[in-house]
């Protein structure tokens, strides 16, 4: 396998998809011939509603079985083992599905107990602080607002100690202050020892926070944006938005092999 990242980055921060078909009920929803992602960094996946972003994240995180193909972490294939993927990759639960009778702390402890390496690092403390979780830590989830549930769900993606973390539309419902603080903490994590893979609907966040971009349409990767592409637009967020919208509106040919590292 080629690509500079295989030697330049810690092997535990590489995700490679080979001939992957993901779906539900036997129906193919996402098809990816070859996609290589390497951290540290932050991959923002953007695409129309129904383009397959959530299906892709669920498959990467072991929440959906692959219909075919394989996912390699650290060069090791995981075509059949959903549980191996779930152990190795942090996954943000659906905020609306958190257990309402438990307190925030109980939910967090429950998620941390699922992996061998629950995280107590400084990065996690910074995240907890940015999310302001301790203010409602002892309250049952049933009493949380939508934004509070979103903050707790986000936190749960990190408490297992994994360094590859999947976040599905993490910024929904967040107020301006928590959004600002959270983006800063996630940027810091993506600069040190995390590979974050998030779905997004806002091109400006992709431009200002992510290190790589991936455009998905019709279940296929249509375009990758590397750091140089994002830097080209750094002074022109409106131009970047127009560029992304145009690519999504008009469509571009699918890519057989996409490397973002």
25 binds ligand ATP per the rule CB under 6 A: yes
- Which of 77, 59, 65 has the alpha carbon at shortest distance from 14? 77
CB of 23 to ligand ATP, least distance (A): 7
- Number of Cβ within 10 Å of residue 161's Cβ equals 15
The full DSSP string for 25-46 is: TTEEEEEEEEEEEESSEEEEEE
DSSP 115: S
Question: Nearer Cβ to ligand ATP, position 6 or 28?
Answer: 28
| Choices 21-29, 65-73, 189-197, 220-228 (CB under 6 A): range interacting with ligand ATP | 21-29
CB of 194 to ligand ATP, least distance (A): 22
48-107 positions binding ligand ATP, by CB under 6 A = 49-55
CB of 251 to ligand ATP, least distance (A): 15
224 binds ligand ATP per the rule CB under 6 A: no
CB of 218 to ligand ATP, least distance (A): 9
DSSP SS3 for 244: helix
* Residues 50, 244: Cα–Cα separation, whole Å: 17
Question: Nearer Cβ to ligand ATP, position 136 or 212?
Answer: 212
Cα 130 to Cα 79, 94, 135, distances in angstroms: 36, 20, 11
Cα 209 to Cα 62, 69, 83, 120, 196, distances in angstroms: 26, 31, 30, 24, 11
Question: Nearer Cβ to ligand ATP, position 53 or 151?
Answer: 53
214 binds ligand ATP per the rule CB under 6 A: no
4 binds ligand ATP per the rule CB under 6 A: no
- The burial of 74, by beta-carbon neighbours within 10 Å (0-12 exposed, 13-18 middle, 19 or more buried), is given as middle
Site for ligand ATP (CB under 6 A): how many residues?
A: 12
29 binds ligand ATP per the rule CB under 6 A: yes
| Positions that interact with ligand ATP (CB under 6 A) | 24-25, 27, 29, 47, 49-55
């Amino acid at each position: 396998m080629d690509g500079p990242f295989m030697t330049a980055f810690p092997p535990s921060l590489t995700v490679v998809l080979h001939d992957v078909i993901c779906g539900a009920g036997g129906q193919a929803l996402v098809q990816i011939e070859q996609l290589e992602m390497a951290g540290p960094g932050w991959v923002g996946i953007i695409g129309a509603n129904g383009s397959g972003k959530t299906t892709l994240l669920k498959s990467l995180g072991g929440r959906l079985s692959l219909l075919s193909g394989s996912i390699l972490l650290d060069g090791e294939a995981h075509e059949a083992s959903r549980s191996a993927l779930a152990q190795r990759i942090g996954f943000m639960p659906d905020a609306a599905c958190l257990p309402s009778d438990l307190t925030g702390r109980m939910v967090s402890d429950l998620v941390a107990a699922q992996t061998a390496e629950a995280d107590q690092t400084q990065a996690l403390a910074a995240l907890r602080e940015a999310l302001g979780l301790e203010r409602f830590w002892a309250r049952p989830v049933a009493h949380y607002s939508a934004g509070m549930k979103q903050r707790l769900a986000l936190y749960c993606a990190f408490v297992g100690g994994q360094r590859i973390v999947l976040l599905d539309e993490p910024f929904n419902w967040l107020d301006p202050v928590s959004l600002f603080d959270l983006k800063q903490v996630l940027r810091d994590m993506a600069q040190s020892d995390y590979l974050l893979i998030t779905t997004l609907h806002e091109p400006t966040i992709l431009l200002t926070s992510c290190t790589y971009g991936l455009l998905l349409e019709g279940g296929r990767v249509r375009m990758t944006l590397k750091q140089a592409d994002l830097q080209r637009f750094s002074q022109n967020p409106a131009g970047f938005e127009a560029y992304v919208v145009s690519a999504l509106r008009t469509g571009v040919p699918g890519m057989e092999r996409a490397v973002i590292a």
